[in-house]
Amino acid sequence: MAAPWIDEATESNFEARVITASKTQPVLVDFWAPWCGPCRLLGPTLERVVEAYGGKVRLIKINTDENPTLASRYRIQGIPAVKAFLDGQIVDEFVGVLPERQIREFVDNLVPTQADLLGQQARAIEGTPLEALKLYEEGLRGEPQHPPSLLGKLRLLLALDRVEEARDLFNHLPAPLQFHEETRRLQIRLDLALSKQHGPSLEELRARVGQEPENLQAAFDLAHRLAADGNHEEALERYLAILRKDRRFKDDGARKAMLQLFEIVGPRSPLAEKFREKLAEILF
């Protein structure tokens, strides 16, 4: 083998050389056999491409004649067959001989870019939002359409209450990102943040509800403000109180607001599960 990141594997060491190794970097697995002419054509090209990445990706070759159990496990029906592993899972694959250009494109999609690496660092330190924001922005300078960095930056702008910047960024997200699940959650947060910019303060809203306990609009405005400020549990309690008094208020607005908050806190989070049960008690 020409380089330390190109090796062979057998049934006895496949777990270590492929599954475990793929937790830290992409691993290409080339299923081949000595009698296979196309395999002999593809092999050198694969090695040449992998060598060009200088250790950012590994290539593991598996002789299917000598390792039939592995060939069966991964349902190899024709060779050469190349499967890409990342985090212990197959994330891409192809069968047959491809031109070198296409193989490079295949590997490019697996190897993390500078924006990927900076984004990973930023996500890990989002508890210090200003530092994390700098990393996202550095990644975006090199790759302006990088989806995780765009969403990370939007998330932090909202956390820092830089609402106008967040709105501008949201309005210029690339089209594919507009249908992303996290984009939907961030849009809800953005709408909440915008709603509190020109409204009464939290103290004023609390005072109004105290003075007019039967005023459902005041109660709804307070719940909305609490949600915008991140006081999710109290906001959910107040939406529930509105539902107990009038389910039809604001065209079922309290229930709809609760469903939006479930998206923000995580649909399967303990808080969402707790209030989903309470909501069901009222509705059913």
Model confidence at 130, pLDDT cuts 50, 70, 90, reads: very high
Q: Where are the beta strands (DSSP E) in 51-147?
A: 58-63, 81-86, 89-95
Which of 6, 29, 39, 70 is flagged as catalytic?
Answer: 39
Residue 55 annotated in active site = no
Please give the Cα distance from 163 to 150 (Å, whole number).
15
Q: Looking at residue 2, what is its pLDDT?
A: 57
What's the whole-model pTM score?
A: 0.63
Domain 6-108 shares a fold with domain 202-283: no
Closest CA to 180 of 148, 212, 226: 148
Is residue 1's pLDDT more than 80?
no
Which of 19, 36, 98, 259 is flagged as catalytic?
Answer: 36
What is the CATH number assigned to the segment(s) 6-108? 3.40.30.10
Give me the chain's average pLDDT, please: 91
Domain spanning 114-197: CATH 3.40.50: no
Residue 131 annotated in active site = no
Please give the Cα distance from 159 to 269 (Å, whole number).
20
Could you read off the pLDDT of 232-280 as tens digits, one per residue? 999 999 999 999 999 999 999 999 999 999 988 888 899 999 999 999 9
Could you read off the pLDDT of 206-242 as tens digits, one per residue? 999 999 999 999 999 999 999 988 899 999 999 999 9
Domain ranges within the chain, ordered by starting residue: 6-108, 114-197, 202-283
Please tell me the class of the 202-283 domain: mainly alpha
